C-alpha cells in the first residue's frame, strides 16, 4: 500500500433510521414539456431507445439520458430515472465582455448557432460588445429564447433566457472551433443563472421521491447558483448526492477567496455536492461522469482516470486548474484526459468513499431491521445473546461486501468494544475497520456501528 494514496475515513453508522438507496442510478429532473401526460412524476428508462420514443432530440431528458447511456459499455447504467418537474426552471445565461478591443471578432454559440460580432474602429461605450452580440443573436430568431441587456451603464451583460422545457445552452466555443473564451483570448465569459421556478424545487423533488425512491445521484440540467444550492440541500436531507455541471467562467478564472461562483460558495459552506466545471453544458459532462462511474459496486469505482465519451476535454491553463482544484471542484482536463483531483464533493470528501460509506450504512440498517423482524414476537434481548444476534447480522454485511470485485479487501469487526448501557437494551457500538483500494487511492474506513 502506497501511504501517499491512503485516505482515512472515520464513520459513525447507525443500525436504525432510513437508508440511502439506488447507489448505481441517477435521476435527471426536467421540465416535462407535455411528455408526462399520464400523471406520472417520473419514468425509468433502461436504454436510449425508450428515451427516443418519449423525448425529442435536444430536450434535456434526451441530451442527458443519451449521454449517460453512451459511456463505456461495461459501465453503462442499468437504467436512469427522468423526473417530472411540473413547474420547470429556465436555463438563463449571461454573456460577459471580459475585455474589449477595436476591430476585433467576438463570438459565442447559442443552442448550436454561432453568434458573431466584430467591433468597429472605435468603442463608443464599454457596452458595445454585448450590445452588438445581442443584435446579432436576435437576428438568428432562436425558438424559445429571449434576450436582454442587464446591469448598469458601462458594465452591461447580455442575458439569454430560455423558455421552460427548452434545453438552451451557450458556449464560448464556436462550431468552427474558434475559442475566444477563458481558454483562448479571454474576451468573453459565461455565468449560469438558472433560478428556482415558482413552485419550490424541493417541493417538486419531494413529490418525485414519494412516487419512486430508487436513485442516489441527481444530475441537474439547469446550472445556476440558486437552483443548484436548493437541489443540493434537498439531496443532503434525503440522502442523495447532486453532481452539477457548471459552465460559469469564474469557476476556472478566479480564485476561491471572495469568489461568488457555485464552486466557491459550496467550498466555503462545505456542501456535500460536486461541481464539474465544463464550458459546454450541452455535452452533459455530469451525466457522462455519473453514468460511467456509478454502475459499479460501491467501493470498486473511481471518479478519476475517467474517459467521458461524447465530452470534449477542457484545455485549462495551470492557473485555471489551480483555481478549480482549490475549490474542490472537478474538471475534464485535456492533459492525459483525466478528471482533476480525485473526484470530490465541495466539502473535500471523495465521492467514492462517501458512496461506499452510504452503501455500508444502508446494508447495516437493512440487516438490523431484518434481524429485529425475524426475532418477533420476542424482542432482541439486552444480554449477550442479543449482542451476538446483532453481531452476526453485522458480520454478514461485511462478509457480503468483502472479496474480489466487491467493496472491501478485508475488514476487522471488534465485538469486545460492544457495550450495553446498564438497565437498557441499548448497545453503544461495535468497532470496525475495513480496507479497500480504488484506482485513485487506498482507503481505511473505521468507526463505530451503533444501535
245-262 residue pLDDT tens: 999 999 999 999 888 999
Instruction: Count CB atoms within 10 A of the CB of residue 111.
Output: 20
CA pair distance 318, 190, nearest whole angstrom: 20
CA distance to 142, 168, 174, 177, 320, per residue, from 106 (Å): 19, 20, 10, 13, 22
Mean pLDDT estimate for the chain: 87
Verify cis geometry, omega within 30 degrees of 0, for the bond prior to 170.
no
Specify the pTM.
0.92
The pLDDT of 126-149, averaged and rounded, is 94
User: Does the structure show a pLDDT above 90 at 375?
Assistant: no
The domain limits of the chain are 21-87+198-350, 92-192, 352-450
14: cell is 447507525
Q: Mean pLDDT check: name the lowest of 147-161, 162-176, 431-445.
A: 162-176
302-325: average pLDDT: 86
* From 136-150, 241-255, 297-311, the region with the lowest mean pLDDT: 297-311
H or E element at residue 44: strand 42-45
108: left (phi over 0), alpha (psi -120 to 50) or beta: beta
Residue 144: exposure state from Cβ atoms within 10 A (0-12, 13-18, ≥19): middle
Q: Which of 165-179, 189-203, 417-431 is least confident? A: 417-431
Q: Quick check: 433 pLDDT over 60?
A: yes
pLDDT tier for residue 14 given thresholds of 50, 70 and 90: confident
Q: Show the CA angle centred on residue 330, arms to residues 280 and 175, nearest 5°.
A: 15
Q: Is the pLDDT of residue 213 over 80?
A: yes
Residue 382 clears pLDDT 80, i.e. is over it: no
φ, ψ at 352 (rounded to 5°): -70, -35
In this structure, are residues 364 and 395 in contact, taking their beta carbons and an 8 Å threshold? no
Apex 326 CA angle, 109 and 268, nearest 5: 95
Which pLDDT value is given to residue 178? 61
pLDDT in tens, 68-94: 999 987 788 999 999 999 999 999 999
Answer yes or no: are the C-beta atoms of 191 and 248 closer than 8 Å. yes
Cell numbers placing 281? 453544458
At 173 the pLDDT is: 77
* pLDDT, average across residues 389-401: 91
Identify which of 194, 195, 174 has the alpha carbon closest to the alpha carbon of residue 184.
174
Q: Nearest-5° angle of CA 288, CA 231, CA 270?
A: 90
Mean pLDDT for the stretch of residues 359-388: 75
Give the Cα separation of 31 and 10 in Å (integer): 40
Separation of alpha carbons 331 and 352, rounded Å: 17
Q: Give bridge partners of residue 408 from the DSSP assignment.
A: 402
| Higher pLDDT, residue 102 or 412 | 412
State percent of the chain over pLDDT 90. Answer: 58
Segment 179-201 mean pLDDT: 79
**Is the confidence at residue 180, as pLDDT, over 70?**
no
Contact 407, 297 (CB under 8 A): yes
Across the range 266-291, mean pLDDT stands at: 95
80-85 and 42-45 as β-strands: parallel, antiparallel, unpaired? Answer: antiparallel
CB of 364 closer than 8 Å to CB of 15: yes
Which among 102, 115, 90 is positioned nearest to 173, based on CA atoms?
115
* pLDDT confidence of residue 315: 80
186 vs 18 pLDDT, higher one? 18
Amino acid at each position: 500500500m502506497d501511504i501517499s494514496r491512503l485516505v482515512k475515513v472515520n464513520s459513525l453508522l447507525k443500525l436504525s433510521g432510513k437508508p440511502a438507496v439506488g447507489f448505481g442510478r441517477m435521476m435527471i429532473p426536467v421540465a416535462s414539456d407535455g411528455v408526462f401526460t399520464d400523471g406520472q412524476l417520473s419514468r425509468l428508462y433502461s436504454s436510449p431507445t425508450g428515451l427516443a420514443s418519449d423525448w425529442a432530440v435536444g430536450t434535456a431528458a434526451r441530451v442527458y439520458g443519451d449521454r449517460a447511456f453512451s459511456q463505456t459499455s461495461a459501465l453503462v447504467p442499468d437504467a436512469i430515472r427522468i423526473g417530472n418537474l411540473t413547474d420547470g426552471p429556465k436555463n438563463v445565461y449571461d454573456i460577459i465582455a471580459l475585455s474589449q478591443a477595436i476591430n476585433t471578432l467576438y463570438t459565442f454559440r447559442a443552442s448550436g448557432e454561432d453568434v458573431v460580432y466584430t467591433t468597429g474602429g472605435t468603442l463608443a461605450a464599454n457596452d458595445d460588445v454585448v450590445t452588438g452580440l445581442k443584435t446579432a443573436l436576435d437576428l438568428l430568431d432562436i425558438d424559445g429564447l429571449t434576450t436582454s441587456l442587464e446591469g448598469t451603464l458601462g458594465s452591461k451583460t447580455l442575458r439569454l433566457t430560455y423558455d421552460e422545457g427548452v434545453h438552451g445552452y451557450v458556449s464560448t466555443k464556436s462550431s468552427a472551433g474558434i475559442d475566444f473564451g477563458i481558454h483562448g483570448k479571454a474576451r468573453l465569459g459565461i455565468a449560469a443563472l438558472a433560478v428556482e421556478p415558482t413552485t419550490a424545487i424541493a417541493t417538486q423533488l419531494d413529490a418525485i421521491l414519494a412516487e419512486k425512491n430508487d436513485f442516489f445521484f441527481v444530475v441537474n440540467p439547469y446550472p445556476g447558483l440558486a437552483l443548484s444550492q436548493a437541489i443540493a440541500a434537498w439531496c443532503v436531507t434525503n440522502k442523495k448526492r447532486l453532481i452539477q455541471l457548471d459552465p460559469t467562467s469564474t469557476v476556472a478564472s478566479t480564485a476561491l477567496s471572495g469568489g461568488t461562483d457555485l464552486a466557491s460558495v459550496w467550498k466555503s459552506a462545505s456542501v456535500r455536492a460536486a461541481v464539474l466545471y465544463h464550458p459546454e453544458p450541452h455535452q452533459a459532462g455530469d451525466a457522462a461522469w455519473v453514468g460511467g462511474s456509478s454502475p459499479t459496486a460501491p467501493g470498486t469505482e473511481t471518479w478519476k482516470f475517467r474517459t467521458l465519451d461524447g465530452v470534449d476535454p477542457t484545455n485549462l491553463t495551470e492557473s485555471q486548474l489551480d483555481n478549480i482544484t482549490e475549490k474542490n471542484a472537478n474538471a475534464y482536463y485535456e492533459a492525459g484526459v483525466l478528471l482533476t483531483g480525485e473526484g470530490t464533493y465541495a466539502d473535500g470528501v471523495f465521492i467514492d468513499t462517501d458512496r461506499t460509506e452510504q452503501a455500508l450504512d444502508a446494508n447495516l440498517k437493512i440487516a438490523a431491521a431484518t434481524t429485529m423482524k425475524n426475532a418477533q414476537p420476542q424482542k432482541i434481548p439486552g444480554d449477550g445473546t442479543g449482542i451476538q444476534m446483532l453481531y452476526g447480522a453485522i458480520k454478514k454485511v461485511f462478509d457480503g461486501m468483502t472479496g474480489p470485485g466487491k467493496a472491501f479487501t478485508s475488514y476487522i469487526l471488534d465485538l469486545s468494544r460492544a457495550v450495553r448501557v446498564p438497565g437498557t437494551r441499548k448497545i453503544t457500538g461495535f468497532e470496525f475497520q475495513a480496507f479497500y483500494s480504488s484506482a485513485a487511492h487506498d482507503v481505511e474506513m473505521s468507526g463505530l456501528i451503533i444501535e
